[in-house]
Amino acid sequence: MQIVIYILSLLLSGFLYFLFAAYMTVAAGVSNLPIINFLCTILIFGFASWFHFFQPKSGSIILAVLVIVSFVTMPMSLMIDYFDGGDYTPGMIEFMAPLVLSLTILGLIFYRKTEMKNQWTKIILAIIPCSLGLYVGCHFIFKVIF
């Protein structure tokens, strides 16, 4: 069950990352909510997706909080724009895919029964997202500061 949570959290963070990138190509400015969403996405991808392998309770809580914050910040505002009928009407997939993935992850986090036992599998699954998350996060921070 933890592998499914791992894969779905990587899919969710990748989808939100590319959604952020698509909106930033046409944005005139950036408010705080997309930046918070971007940072939560990087934390989900680089840290929370694998941390629940090693610390099941605290890792699940961190993953759940980051999933909720990342959904509330950007996809929820897209859903409000969709039903508001303003200037821009986003496509339904732009907020439904994160909603479905977020609800699935949250459901699996709180209703899982088994724990992963193999330590080497945990380490191997943690290396790639951790290194990519560190790279993208440090690159973004470096670009913002300098």
Q: What per-residue confidence (pLDDT) applies to 55?
A: 87
pTM of the model: 0.81
Q: Are 91 and 65 in contact (CB under 8 A)?
A: no
Q: In the prediction, which pLDDT does 86 show?
A: 63
Query: Residues 59-89: pLDDT tens digits?
Result: 889 999 999 998 888 777 777 767 776 666 6
User: What's the pLDDT score for residue 74?
Assistant: 78
Query: Is the pLDDT confidence value at 44 over 70?
Result: yes
Give the total number of structural domains in the chain.
Answer: 1
Residue 118 has pLDDT above 70, yes or no: yes
- Domain extent, residue 115, equals 2-145
Count of C-beta atoms within a 10 Å radius of residue 100: 13
